Every structure is written in C-alpha cells, then in structure tokens.
C-alpha cells in the first residue's frame, strides 16, 4: 500500500463514526460542519504526528466519535437531553463510580465496544507500518492541529450573526454536537464573571437569640411520592409531616432522573436558570467554584454554624471545592461515615439521620445542617425496578420519622426542610420533572398548606421561615 493511500484511509476512518454521531444529534447539513469536524481532524493530526500511523490515528479519532455517540444516545434515552459541554467534567466519575452511569448503557455495547477496540488497537499495532514522516512534516501537522484547536477555543468569531439558541438539543441539530460543545463552553466562559459578580455572598446582619431555630435541609436522593406516579407505597411519616407543615407540595426541579447538582445549587442559592445562562447545565462545573450568594453565607452572618453531610465521595460534582465557596464551614463526606450502616452498597438514610441528631446535640448555638442523602440512588434491582425504588422511599420515610422525634426534643426549635432532588430515571416517573417538598417547624404546627413551588422559590421560603 502506498503512503498516500495509507494516509487517505486513515484520514477517512473517523468519517462514518462522526456522521453517526451527528445523526444521533439530528444535525443538519450546514456551513457549520467544518467547525463540528475540526476537533476530530485536530485529534487525528496530533496522533498522526506522534505515532506516524494513519490507521491508528484515525481509529482513535473514530473511537472518540463512537464514545460520544453512545454516551449521547444513552443520555437522551435515559434523561431526555443530549450531552453538553459540562459533561466533560464528569468523565472521571464514570470511571470512579461506574454504578451511577454504566447501567444506562447496554452491557453488550460496553463489553463489545471495549473488546473490539482493544483487539483493533493490537492488530493495528502489529500490522501497520510507521510512515517515515520527517520532523518538518510532524511539526507542520502539529501546527495545523494547533490552528484548529485555536479555532475551537474561540468559535464565537465565526458566528457572524448566527446566534445560538443556547439550548443543547436545538444547537446540536443546527451546529453539530461537537461544535455546540465549543460554542456553549465559550459563551459560558465569557458571561460567567459578570453573572457571578451580580450575586456575591451576602451574610445576614441579624443576631441570633434563644428562639433562633436550627435549620436542617434534607436533600433526598431520587425522592418523590411514589403514589403520585401510581406506585403503591406507605409513607406515614411523610403524610404526618405534611399535615403539620408550614408548606408542602410539588417542587419543580431543573432536570429529570439525574443532575442533582442543578436542584442542589438552586435551592441553596435561589439563582434560577435565567441568572445562570449556560452554566445552568451544571453550576458546579465552573460557576460555583468561586464564592456566590447562598443560604449558608446568609446564615453564617446570623451566627449559624454551617455544615454539610454527604455520605459519599467528597469530590463528586466537585463538592469538595464548591461547598466552601457556597459558605459551608465544614463538609463531612464519606470518611466521616466510615463504618456507617449500608444497604445496596450505599450509606442508609437512617445512618444520615443518626449523624444529624448527633450534630444537633453537639452545637451550642444555631446550626444550619445540610444533608445530601444517597440511599435512594439507582440502579434499582429486582423484576420491577419501580417497586425497588418505592421500597427505598419507604426507608427514607422511616428516617424522617426518626429525625422528627429527635427534633421535637431539641431545646432549640428546628426547621426541617425535606425535598427530592429529581425523579428517578424510571419509565413510570416520566411525564414531569417535579418532586415533593415539605417545610416543618418543631415549635408550632402549621396548617399543611399546599403550595406548588420551584427550587428558587423554596430557597426564599426557607430563608423567610428561618429568619422571619
């Protein structure tokens, strides 16, 4: 095989996989196809310059397109939305915590894809000769790749009035999925500083007294009332809380089946999607890595000790960096729950309640305790995953009953706010994104008022309930 034919075959190898990726994104033929292809070409050029093997370089570029296409289809199927530029920050979590991601991809695809990829790599490594590229050719390839990367990093200069819709699915269909990653990442980076500066930390000036209540904010994994979805479940403690609640009802959250950090951020800060721009796709990816106004900062100004408890990897979603920026003085993660009771490989909600009660007993002044549970997370085993999920919601209900009894005995009033971060990624839960919430005080029975809220409105209600 001549060197020219060798190069042509290697260069063309990624093409069908790139077209398949675009087909899954419903991308149309347009003038933006060059920008969409530029990262694939740049990757091919870099690998060719380094290895001198066109087929190997093309194979790796094709594999990257295949990986993106499989991931995009899996996300669209499970969550109803495409891959976004912020998903790049979650790649390490797929490797570190595969149980939260790989069940959404058929096993045959994972095993078959990895197996075929390894075999193809070994075969090419054995059979493909290295082209005698001189150093000048290699440098030229790297320079061309650098030009393409510079174009990708500054794509807005090419728009010329073609304003993106700033909706991942629509823009992926117009510009192509890879071009959309680049466009959205750049738009978010340009706007992020001003958006963040408009909402600086704002500590409250109120001074606590004996009547200042503790605030316990319980973010319940995959929680919503199964009965609303037509799934039988017994939630007696949740029902009792609702009857005595300051407010309760459905909670509109920004996502289905996953993306806990979206709901988490909005409830903590009160900053809705229109304030965040494209950072709404994952506020923890970049936006919340620097201080921004939140409940924790507000309550710290009023003399509250602020603590987050999360019985999982502190690095998940970058919480180890984000939570201090959101005003939490202390973050007790997986290490603090060493030896705690587990079920289905996850720390139970009962263990979280136990730590919450111990934390309230240990403080002298008012405390803001924010607990992020994990026990309700999928996958849900058994012949009917919906029944398995509902059983975990019943365990969450039991935990709430245990904690409420302890809160009633507290010498300081306790405001308990419990809410679901998102619906479970189950067919029975499709058709909406709302979960459920309740706001309850230990020092006075409410009337169980039903108030449909969104996550930003819940933030304002919590602040008003605690600070008056």
Instruction: For residues 233 and 171, state if they share a domain.
Output: no
For residue 190, tell me if it sits in a domain: yes
Instruction: For residues 183 and 222, state if they share a domain.
Output: no
Instruction: For residues 223 and 142, state if they share a domain.
Output: no
pLDDT of residue 454: 97
Number of domains within the chain = 2
pLDDT of residue 364: 87
What's the mean per-residue pLDDT of the chain?
Answer: 92
Give the structural domain span for 186: 3-195
pTM given for the model: 0.93
Instruction: For residues 88 and 227, state if they share a domain.
Output: no
Instruction: For residues 295 and 240, state if they share a domain.
Output: yes
Among residues 160, 195, 230, the one where a domain terminates is: 195
Instruction: For residues 362 and 317, state if they share a domain.
Output: yes
CA distance 336 to 338: 6
Instruction: For residues 219 and 118, state if they share a domain.
Output: no
Question: Which helix (DSSP H) or strand (DSSP E) does residue 81 occupy?
Answer: none
For residue 200, tell me if it sits in a domain: no
pLDDT of residue 243: 95
For residue 164, tell me if it sits in a domain: yes
For residue 204, tell me if it sits in a domain: no
For residue 203, tell me if it sits in a domain: no
Helix, strand, coil content of the chain in percent (nearest 5): 55, 10, 35
For 168-187, give one letter per residue: b (16+ CB within 10 A) or e.
bbebbbbbbbbbbbbbbbbb
pLDDT of residue 162: 81
For residue 60, tell me if it sits in a domain: yes
Other Cβ atoms within 10 Å of 332 Cβ, number = 17
Q: What is the pLDDT of residues 170-187, one digit of tens each?
A: 999 999 999 999 999 999
Q: Is residue 74 over pLDDT 80?
A: yes
Name 322's Cβ contacts closer than 8 Å, sequence gap at least 6.
Answer: 284, 288, 289
Q: Which residue has the tokens 């990262």?
A: 39
Residue 395 pLDDT level (bands cut at 50, 70, 90): very high
Instruction: For residues 219 and 338, state if they share a domain.
Output: yes
CA torsion sign, 439 to 442 to 448 to 449? negative
234: domain CATH number is: 3.40.720.10
pLDDT of residue 369: 98
Tell me the mean pLDDT in the region 209-235. 93
Helix (H, G, I), strand (E, B) or coil at 248: strand
pLDDT of residue 210: 57
Q: What is the pLDDT of residues 92-101, one digit of tens each?
A: 998 888 888 8
Residue 3 pLDDT level (bands cut at 50, 70, 90): confident
Pairing mode of beta strands 247-252, 342-343:
unpaired
Per DSSP, the residues of 284-316 read TTTGGGS----HHHHHHHTT-EEEEE-SS-TTG
For residue 202, tell me if it sits in a domain: no
pLDDT of residue 26: 96
* The three-state (H, E, C) secondary structure of 121-158, written as one string: HHHHHHHCCCCCCCHHHHHHHHHHHHHHHHHHHCHHHH
Q: Which of 29, 27, 47, 30 is nearest to 13 (CA)?
A: 47
Tell me the mean pLDDT in the region 121-138. 79
Q: Is residue 120 over pLDDT 80?
A: no
Terminus-to-terminus CA distance in the chain, angstroms? 79
Residue 444 pLDDT level (bands cut at 50, 70, 90): confident
Instruction: For residues 183 and 129, state if they share a domain.
Output: yes
Q: Is residue 403 over pLDDT 90?
A: yes
pLDDT of residue 125: 67
Pairing mode of beta strands 434-441, 342-343:
unpaired
Tell me the mean pLDDT in the region 345-368. 94
Residue 1 pLDDT level (bands cut at 50, 70, 90): low
Token pair in block for residue 200: 């600086």
Whether 296 contacts 306, CB under 8 Å: yes
Among residues 161, 195, 229, the one where a domain terminates is: 195
* The three-state (H, E, C) secondary structure of 169-184, written as one string: HHHHHHHCHHHHHHHH
Q: Is residue 82 over pLDDT 80?
A: yes
Tell me the mean pLDDT in the region 229-233. 95
pLDDT of residue 191: 96
Instruction: For residues 243 and 156, state if they share a domain.
Output: no
Instruction: For residues 141 and 72, state if they share a domain.
Output: yes
Instruction: For residues 403 and 430, state if they share a domain.
Output: yes
Q: What percent of the chain has pLDDT over 70?
A: 95
Residue 10 pLDDT level (bands cut at 50, 70, 90): confident
Tell me how far CA of residue 450 lies from CA of 243, 249, 353, in angstroms.
10, 5, 26
pLDDT of residue 437: 98
For residue 34, tell me if it sits in a domain: yes
């Amino acid at each position: 095989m001549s060197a020219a034919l060798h190069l042509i075959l290697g260069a063309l190898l990624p093409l069908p996989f790139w077209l398949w990726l675009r087909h899954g994104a419903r991308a149309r033929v347009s003038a933006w196809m060059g920008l969409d292809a530029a990262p694939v070409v740049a990757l091919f050029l870099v690998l060719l310059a380094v290895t001198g093997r066109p087929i190997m370089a093309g194979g790796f570029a094709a594999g990257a397109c295949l990986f993106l296409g499989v991931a995009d289809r899996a996300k669209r199927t499970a969550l109803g939305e495409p891959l976004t530029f912020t998903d790049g920050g979650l790649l390490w979590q797929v490797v570190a915590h595969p149980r939260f991601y790989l069940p959404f991809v058929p096993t045959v695809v994972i095993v078959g894809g990895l197996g075929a990829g390894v075999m193809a790599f070994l075969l090419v490594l054995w059979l493909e000769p290295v082209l005698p590229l001189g150093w000048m050719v290699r440098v030229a390839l790297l320079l061309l790749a650098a030009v393409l990367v510079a174009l990708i990093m500054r794509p807005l200069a090419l728009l010329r009035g073609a304003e993106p819709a700033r909706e991942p699915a629509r823009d992926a269909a117009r510009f192509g999925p890879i071009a959309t990653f680049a466009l959205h990442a750049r738009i978010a980076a340009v706007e992020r500083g001003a958006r963040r500066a408009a909402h600086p930390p704002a500590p409250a000036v109120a001074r606590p007294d004996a009547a200042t209540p503790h605030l316990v904010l319980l973010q319940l994994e995959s929680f919503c009332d199964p009965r609303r979805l037509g799934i039988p479940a017994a939630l007696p403690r949740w029902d009792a809380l609702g009857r005595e609640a300051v407010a309760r009802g459905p909670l509109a959250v920004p996502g289905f089946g996953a993306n806990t950090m979206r709901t988490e951020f909005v409830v903590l800060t009160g900053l809705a999607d229109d304030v965040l721009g494209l950072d709404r796709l994952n506020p923890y990816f970049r936006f919340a890595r620097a201080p921004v106004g939140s409940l924790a900062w507000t309550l710290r100004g009023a003399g509250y000790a602020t603590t987050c408890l999360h019985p999982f990897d502190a690095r998940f979603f970058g919480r180890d960096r984000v939570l201090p920026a959101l005003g939490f003085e202390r973050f007790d993660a997986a290490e603090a729950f060493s030896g705690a009771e587990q079920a289905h490989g996850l720390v139970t909600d009962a263990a979280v309640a136990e730590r919450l009660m111990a934390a309230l007993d240990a403080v002298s002044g008012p405390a803001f305790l924010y607990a992020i549970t994990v026990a309700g997370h999928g996958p849900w085993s058994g012949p009917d995953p919906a029944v398995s999920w509902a059983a975990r919601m019943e365990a969450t209900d039991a935990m709430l009953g245990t904690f409420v009894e302890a809160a009633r005995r507290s010498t300081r009033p306790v405001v308990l706010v419990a809410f679901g971060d998102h619906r479970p990624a189950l067919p029975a839960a499709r058709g909406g994104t709302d979960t459920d919430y309740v706001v309850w005080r230990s020092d006075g029975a409410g009337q169980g008022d039903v108030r449909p809220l969104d996550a930003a409105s819940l933030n304002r209600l919590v602040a008003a309930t605690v600070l008056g």
